[in-house]
Chains A and B, each alone.
Chain A
Amino acid sequence: MNPRALSCEEVIERLFDYLDRELDSQEAADIEWHLQRCRDCFTRAEFERRLRARVAATGTAKAPPRLHRRISALLDGFDESDTATDS
């Protein structure tokens, strides 16, 4: 399948759908084809991709030791209260 030529406007309009992987493979290929050839749209896409990666990284935070301890204690409690045969 040949890529469909998109205007810069169409690319920017769908940029987040593309970054969020909401497009089907043909639509994504159309965007990629444009991004490989258009410096302006590529720069914009890279910016949003970088920011998105930084947001994604906020989803990791050192779990405090007391949380680890609490979970172990809860699991210990379960081990005692039932014989852990799942059914």
Chain B
Amino acid sequence: MRFDDAASRREWFERRLAPLMDRLYGTALRLTRHPADAEDVVAEAVIKAWSQLGRLHDPERFEGWLFHILTNTFISEWRRRRSRPHAGNADTLEPVELDSASFTLFQQLHQPFLLWWGSLEDQFFNGLLQEDLEQALDALPDAYRVTIVLVEVQGYTYEEVASLLGIPVGTVRSRLSRARSRLQKMLWVQAREAGVVLGGKEGGAQE
């Protein structure tokens, strides 16, 4: 991008940045899990974008370009942290690939007949709080969480995720299905503990 002067450059940049701030911050928060880290990632990404603005040739691509910078900023910081000798959280590297990818919430909730108050699926969604969902996502091992965020929140293709993370597409796929299975299992446990889902197939109706 070329600008007549510094003021018009700044104005152009801030006008495009402003409507993206809540998504940049929200995405960074899902990736890092911590508000302070999320703020650091956003600030660093914005400054990188600002100083590399000359390399953005198509202004229509600003949003995707900025999110790409954000994602890469997070990934390099993540790599740097986990390569520290006393990082202490082994699961950030490779999750133990033991858990199966077979749990589905739908199978727990779905009843072939309608209950008088509606379906269990509706009951589940109505009771599902944003903070429950965030908590369940945050509880996933790093590699799972990052993969599911890149795909479901950011909308990257498996191919793009593979290249961002430097892993094979097959690994993206398997992490994703394990991540989903774990997430759904956690949501199921949460919903039952909160009493949001009464009944369900695991004996709830008979309790």
Q: Which residues does chain B contribute within 8 Å of A75, judged by CB atoms?
A: 10, 13-14, 46-47, 50
Against B, the Cβ 8 Å flags (1 = close, 0 = not) of A28-71 are 00000000000000011001101110111111111110111011
B10 touches A70 (CB 8 A): no
CB-based nearest A residue for B138 = A58
Asked if B79 is at the interface (CB within 8 A of a chain A CB), the reply is no
A59-B30, A62-B25 given; A78·B43 CB < 8 A? no
Q: Which residues does chain A contribute within 8 Å of B134, judged by CB atoms?
A: 58
Asked if A2 is at the interface (CB within 8 A of a chain B CB), the reply is no
A47 touches B106 (CB 8 A): yes
Q: Which residues does chain B contribute within 8 Å of A87, judged by CB atoms?
A: 54
B180 touches A61 (CB 8 A): no
Against A, the Cβ 8 Å flags (1 = close, 0 = not) of B108-129 are 0110000000000100010010
| Number of interface residues, chain B, beta carbon within 8 A | 54
Min C-beta distance of A36 to chain B, whole Å:
19
What does DSSP make chain B's interface, helix, strand, loop or mixed?
A: helix
Min C-beta distance of B183 to chain A, whole Å:
8
Q: Which residues does chain A contribute within 8 Å of B22, judged by CB atoms?
A: 60-63
| Cα of A13 to Cα of B2 in the assembled complex, Å | 49
| Number of interface residues, chain A, beta carbon within 8 A | 36
Q: Which residues does chain B contribute within 8 Å of A62, judged by CB atoms?
A: 22, 25
Contacts A43-B121, A71-B46, A78-B50 known; 6 new A-B pairs at CB < 8 A = A54-B133, A56-B153, A58-B153, A60-B22, A63-B42, A71-B43
- B→A interface (CB under 8 Å): 1-3, 5-6, 9-10, 13-14, 17, 21-27, 29-30, 35, 39, 42-43, 46-47, 50-51, 53-54, 105-106, 109-110, 121, 125, 128, 130, 133-134, 137, 148-149, 151-155, 157-158, 176-177, 180, 183-184
Some 14 contacts from A to B, beta carbons below 8 A apart, are A16-B176, A20-B157, A22-B157, A47-B109, A54-B128, A55-B152, A58-B133, A59-B154, A63-B22, A71-B43, A74-B43, A75-B46, A78-B50, A84-B9
